[in-house]
Chain A
Amino acid sequence: MAHFEIKNLTFSYPTAKGKHSLEDVTLSIEKGEYVVLCGKSGSGKTTLLRHLKSVLAPHGKHSGEILFNDIPMDKVSQRDQSAKIGYVMQNPDDQIVTDKVWHELAFGLESLGTDQKTMRARVAEMACYFGIQDWFHRDVANLSGGQKQLLNLASIMAMQPEVLILDEPTSQLDPIAASDFLNTVRKINIELGTTVIITEHRMEDIFPYADRAIVMDSGRVIADDTPRNIGKLLYEQGNDMFAAMPTPVRVFYGAQGEGDCPLTVREGRNWLSKAFPEAPKVSTFPAEPLADEIENPALSMKELWFRYEKDSPDILRGVSAEVPAGSLYAIVGGNGAGKSTTLKAICGICKPYRGKVKVFGKRVEKYKSAELFKNCLSMLPQDPKSLFVKKTVREDLTEMCRNEQKIAEVAELCQVTALLDNHPYDLSGGEQQRAALAKVLLTEPKLLLLDEPTKGIDSFFKETFATILAQLKIQGITIVMVSHDVEFCAKYADMVSMFFDGQILTTDTPRRFFGSNSFYTTAANRMSRHVFQNAVTAENMIDLYKQNKEG
């Protein structure tokens, strides 16, 4: 008996003018399976997932049938649905309803009308299983993003569901919290046998462990197979989704490797060792010239010290850096290290109590506010939503600049022309990011600060974003970006700095920087460091592999 049986499901939103969001979807999901659903944003993943729980199913025209445990979905009682089908959404904050951790854990059980004694036992059990006991009595407001999402998961698991549906649960989390969360999901699947259906951008942590991957494109299921076969299929189809595959898969097919396709870094290392039993002829790229003294840096910071309150610890503890004009400068580092605070210090929102910030050779305090944020410097915040204040994207852009021709140009550059009449909150994560960038660019900055620009966007959108950044660089704009996303920085940045303990420790070109790290580095480098010296991206690896095999 299949757990979920979807037969010829077709669906269209009332506003879509007959365009189907789901078209003839037929799927069967077995009990205890771990299924990953992938596809570009807007391919209908969320719409499909929401159909699996009828209280969340969107309004519109349906046809076809969904069976849950052989019972048609609309016949499954509310009570059964609430208890048996757990649904975790994208935004950790919005899902939490109550103000205390313990209350949130009990929320579902309260709804089911569970008696006090059972509730106590279940809540205790959940708190222990998820390691929540230390923050059981805390206010939800004081939790980190990762803790919040874990709490959402735990409060759903307290109802002991048979199925767990997760819709991009880690897109708002930093990489460490994300991989913790995904490991917990995997543990639930393995230890409790709960069926898991998940959509995710972060394929590296899921793909190797999933039983099955389903690929969707414009509302259709285009592939449904084991992860290993899916990689091959997408490569042969030349599908855009191939860019989202884990690095080992991309390298394997990109280099036309032989044997079984590796999925994890470990398998990738073994595959590479087999391909090169002896040391390869070309194991490194030619050395890059060492950076000269930077003349007229666009931005220079000298030993910045900053704390939020008089008695709170220092967040910045002597940050120094110089950013050459016209470059893409990336700052990487752990959570809460002070990266975002550094950006705020650069634009004068946080005032360091010691040290100097110079923007284009002039101290930042010497600028008048109007002067600084017009034609000089501006920042794209971590949450692009916080920048929008109007009803349509067009109005939002007009707020920054009245010149329509310029708006059109910038919209074109950021590829938001088609979205101009939408409400900013209706856009997907990647689209919001681009619309916010357009808004920021209308101040005509010469120095652009980006705070975690790749958070919550899929790999396809990341590439689009990178091309926009490249165009900006051609226009002579200097870009400073802080990010957790080492893969993105390795691929596109000119210089990378490591931020740790309130200061910038090392700065180098991505190849030298990641090439010399062995933990805090890209998957490609971890996979190849025993054979190649400084291959830090999949493209680097493919390049070296081909040089050796062909020449």
Chain B
Amino acid sequence: MGFESYHPAINLFYFVSTIAAAILFKQPVFLLISYLSAFAYSVKRNGKRAVIFNLCLIPLIVIFAMYYSSYNHFGVTVMRQNFIGNNMTVESLLYGVTLGMIVATVFMWLSCVFSVFTADKVVYLFGRVSPKLSLFLSIILRTVPRLKAQAKKISTARRAVGRGVNQGNVFQRIVNAVCIFSMLLTWLLESFTTSSDSMRSRGYALKGRTAFSIYRFDNRDRSLVISLFACLTVALMGYLLGQTVIWYDPKIVMNPITPISFVFYMGFAVLCLLPLIMELWTEFRFKKTRCQL
């Protein structure tokens, strides 16, 4: 029902643009928009866990700003001198806060990325680049849990004849663990031989491989892509007009905020919040139709 049900290409487009914007747009208003939307959206997606994670990031921002300003001394507005006689400046402190905010925002966006992107979306996106690459990725995704299961099987079997990793003296335990590990490798090779037979027998070696996908590009995907692009264009116009930059060294300088600036702010905010708004709206509509039944 949420953003994850849209086409993976749109998911990718959205996250690449928001994360890039978070890094590039250092102007406080843009940064704040970025920060708040990332906060809100990660809470919407991950619930309580996200709240805890995001709140933990705040002290980190503060600590980072303190650390940064005590090692960098550019700027003209001196607050005070520290104990070795270096100047603590407002500029470097604020720049530290900005950097900390950027890192926190990116982390929060990434937590959204993990909840939206499942492994098969990644595999699909790679498949657009090269079908072989995506197949390779898919094989790895299958092998890892199999290896775990086999390791467990072997270790259980060995425990039942008194040769487990937690039986015998320390020396025996190490020997037992090494045995299991070496056999696991043999087993893996053996099972790859069969897999490769099965792949070849289904024509793996043929030229012109295509990649199957379970995703479709629907009208709702198109409309979302158009809106995202519109917002991104507005934000990029702000970028070209120098609305998104700020200098801290030697002195805080940024372009003046004019009424037209608010158009850029609006555009950027909508870009960042679109999935959240959309998810809330869909849930609201779903509830409403339920009530009417």
Chain A residues within CB distance 8 Å of chain B = 53, 55-56, 78-79, 81-83, 85, 87, 89, 91, 93-100, 102-103, 106-116, 119-120, 123, 137, 139-141, 152, 155-156, 159, 344, 347, 349, 369-370, 372-374, 378-379, 381, 383, 385-390, 399-400, 425, 439-440, 443, 449
In the bound complex, residues from chain A placing their C-beta under 8 Å from that of B200 are 55-56
Contacts of A97 in B (CB 8 A): 135, 138-139, 142, 195, 198-199
Are the CB atoms of A113 and B209 closer together than 8 Å?
A: yes
Q: A89-B197, A389-B179 are in contact. Are A159 and B202 (CB under 8 A)?
A: yes
A287 to B199, CA, bound (A): 57
Whether the Cβ atoms of B162 and A110 lie closer than 8 Å is no
**Bound Cα distance A103, B156 (Å):** 32
- Whether the Cβ atoms of A95 and B120 lie closer than 8 Å is no
What are 5 inter-chain pairs, A to B, with CB distance below 8 A?
A99-B142, A141-B145, A381-B160, A425-B187, A439-B161
Closest to A98 in B: B138
Contact string against A for B residues 102-143, beta-carbon threshold 8 Å, 1 for contact and 0 otherwise? 000000000000000001100100000001000100110110
Given A96-B142, A369-B167: A387 and B158 within 8 A (CB)?
A: yes
Chain A residues with CB under 8 Å of B207's CB are 113
A379 CB contact (under 8 Å) in B120, B160, B203: B160
Q: Which of B74-82, B86-94, B147-155 is the interface stretch?
A: B147-155
A425–B206 contact, CB under 8 A?
no
Is the beta-carbon distance between A141 and B142 smaller than 8 angstroms?
A: yes
Asked whether any CB of chain A lies closer than 8 Å to the CB of B241, the reply is no
Chain A residue contacts of B182, Cβ below 8 A = 389
Closest beta carbon of chain A to B62's beta carbon, Å: 39
Q: Specify which chain A residues have a CB less than 8 angstroms from the CB of B150 in the assembled complex.
A: 386
Bound-state CA distance A383–B153 (Å) is 9
B162 close to A369 (CB less than 8 A)? yes
Complex CA–CA separation, A387 to B207 (angstroms): 41
Give chain A nearest CB distance to B139 CB in angstroms. 6
Give Cα distance in the complex from A390 to B141, angstroms.
28
Contact check, A381 vs B156: say whether CB atoms are below 8 A apart. yes
Asked if B142 and A82 sit within 8 Å, CB to CB, the answer is: no
**Contact status B208-A378, CB under 8 Å:** no
A305 vs B211: C-alpha distance when bound (angstroms):
49
How far, in whole Å, are A56 and B201 apart by their CA atoms in the complex? 7
Minimal Cβ-Cβ distance residue in A for B166: A369
**Residue in B180, B202, B203, B214 with the greatest tally of chain A CB atoms within 10 Å:** B202
B5 at the interface (CB under 8 A from A): no
Residue of B nearest to A91 (CB): B194
Is B146's CB within 8 Å of the partner chain A? yes
Contacts of B146 in A (CB 8 A): 93, 141
Given contacts A97-B142, A111-B206, contact A349 B159 (CB under 8 A): yes
Pair A78/B180 contact, Cβ less than 8 Å: no
**Interface SS of chain B:** helix
User: Are B195 and A108 interface neighbours, CB within 8 A?
Assistant: no
Minimum CB–CB distance from B192 to chain A (whole Å) comes to 8
Q: How far is the CB of B212 from chain A (nearest CB, A)?
A: 4
Please report the C-alpha to C-alpha distance between residue A156 and residue B201 in the assembled complex, in whole angstroms.
9
- In the complex, whether B218 has a CB less than 8 A from a CB of chain A is no
> In angstroms, how far is the closest chain B Cβ from the Cβ of A321?
19
B161 touches A443 (CB 8 A): yes
B205 at interface by CB-CB < 8 Å? yes
Known contacts A378-B161, A379-B160, A381-B157; A95/B198 CB under 8 A: yes
CB atoms of B167 and A373 under 8 A apart: yes
Cβ-defined partner of B139 (8 Å) among A53, A78, A85, A98: A98
The minimal Cβ–Cβ distance linking A508 to chain B, given in whole angstroms, is 28
A110–B119 CB distance below 8 A: no
Q: Is the CB of A374 within 8 A of B157?
A: no
Q: Is the CB of A103 within 8 A of B212?
A: yes
B186 near A: Cβ within 8 Å? yes
Give CA–CA (A111, B206) in the complex, Å: 6
Whether A112 contacts B183 by the Cβ 8 Å rule is no
CB-based contact A111/B203 at 8 Å = yes
A108 lies within 8 A of B203 (CB): yes
Chain B residues closer than 8 Å to A113, beta-carbon distance: 206-210
B97 CB to closest chain A CB (Å) equals: 43
Q: Assuming A81-B203, A112-B206, A113-B206, what are 4 further A-B pairs, CB within 8 angstroms?
A: A93-B191, A99-B120, A140-B142, A349-B160
Q: With an 8 A cutoff between CB atoms, is B59 at the interface?
A: no
Which chain A residue lies CB-closest to B127?
A110
Q: Complex Cα distance A349/B138, Å?
A: 34
The CA-CA distance from A139 to B154 in the complex, in Å, is 23
Measured CB to CB, the closest approach of chain B to A330, in angstroms, equals: 19
Contact yes or no, A94 B161, CB < 8 A: no
Indicate if the CB atoms of A443 and B162 lie closer than 8 Å: yes
Q: Are A82 and B167 also in contact (CB < 8 A) when A110-B211, A113-B210, A389-B180 are?
A: no
Q: Is the CB of B201 within 8 A of A378?
A: no
A40 to B76, CA, bound (A): 91
Residue among B141, B162, B179, B210 making CB contact with A378, cutoff 8 Å: B162
Q: Would B203 and A82 count as touching, CB distance under 8 A?
A: yes
Which of chain B's residues 51-89 have a Cβ closer than 8 Å to chain A?
none
Separation in Å of the B127 CB from the closest CB of chain A? 9
Q: Kindly report which residue of chain A lies nearest to residue B178, judged by CB atoms.
A: A389
Q: A141 to B138: give the CA distance in the assembly, Å.
A: 13
In angstroms, Cα B198 to Cα A56, docked, is: 9
B204, CB-defined interface residue at 8 Å: yes
Q: Which 7 A-B pairs have the closest CB atoms?
A: A373-B162, A82-B203, A106-B212, A94-B194, A111-B203, A379-B160, A113-B208
Assembly CA distance A112 to B162 (angstroms): 50
Residue of B with least CB distance to A383? B153
Is B168 part of the binding interface, using a Cβ–Cβ cutoff of 8 Å? yes
Looking at A110, A139, A156, A449, the one whose CB has the most chain B CB atoms below 10 A away is A110
Does A156 lie within 8 Å of B202, measured CB to CB? yes
Judge whether A119 and B162 touch: CB under 8 Å: no
Of all chain B residues, the one with the shortest Cβ separation from A369 is B167
A385-B187 contact given A56-B200, A156-B202, A373-B167, CB 8 Å threshold: yes
When distances are taken between beta carbons in the complex, the residues of chain B under 8 Å from A155 are 202
Query: In this complex, which of A87, A98, A100, A152 has the most chain B Cβ atoms within 10 angstroms of its Cβ?
Result: A98
Residues of A within 8 A of B145 (CB): 139, 141
Shortest beta-carbon distance from A33 to chain B in Å: 21
Within 8 A of A (CB), among B12-38: none
Q: Determine the chain A residues whose CB is within 8 A of the CB of B210 once the complex forms.
A: 109-110, 113-116, 119
Question: Chain A nearest CB: distance from B162 CB in Å?
Answer: 3
Give per-residue flags for B243-284: 1 if the beta carbon is below 8 A from chain A beta carbons, else 0.
000000000000000000000000000000000000000000
Complex contacts, A347 vs chain B, CB 8 Å: 159-160
